[in-house]
Amino acid sequence: MDYPIVTIWARYDLMGHRSFVPASFVCLLFHTSRSSSCDNSKRFVLLGLRSGHSMASQSAQPKSVHEFTVKDAKGNDVDLSIYRGKVLLIVNVASQCGFTNSNYTEMTKLYEKYKDQGLEILAFPCNQFGSQEPGSNEEIQQFACTRFKAEYPIFDKIDVNGSNAAPLYKFLKSSKGGIFGDGIKWNFSKFLVDKEGNVVDRYAPTTSPLGVEKDIKKLLGIA
């Protein structure tokens, strides 16, 4: 008795010709050789198995902000699943921008008003726009906390565009593209995320934090 020989990623037709198979389709070729008085031929049996589940698991795309881990200002990992059940306003911040004073001031007002009702503001320093966030993480924190009394978390400085963009921002941009493309246009772009980690809306840098208040209240369930 001959045991099956399994060949993967190849397809053979009845004439023995081989063709290649798309990566999404796994082919198992069983080659059996039977000797009998009337049949001494070799038989090829092709079994096609869809491998969507295994392939999908390897390239599964995140579906929620809560699936990401980021770095805090001291370089420690922060699992964003700790914010499950919270409404998030995610903002790329800068200390030397024309929008700095108004945005930090209004972000502090929003946080003080709604933090006990489930709002969290996540600030991510970024130096990609006009080099307007040149300081160290420590300097950025001191600036925001001293001048604007920011009590919400300010994370590690990141890139939000380009090949080195933080995975979180790649996800945010792919979830909600901008009017003129997915890329972040400037400092203080904003993303609003619901309690389940879904990206609900995106706002241009010219939209003030208080201009998002109505949408925040809706996600918080506040009339």
Catalytic residues, which ones? 97
> Cα–Cα distance between 9 and 24 in angstroms, integer?
10
Task: Residue 120: count other Cβ atoms within 10 Å of its Cβ.
Answer: 19
Cβ density class 39-69: b for 16+ within 10 Å, e for less: eeeeebeeeeeeeeeeeeeeeeeeebbbbbe
Nearest Cα neighbor of 188 from 103, 106, 128, 121 is: 103
Token pair in block for residue 173:
């941009």
Q: What is the dihedral of CA 53, 58, 63, 69, to 10 degrees?
A: 150
Alpha-helical runs (H) found in the chain: 52-58, 100-114, 137-148, 167-175, 213-220
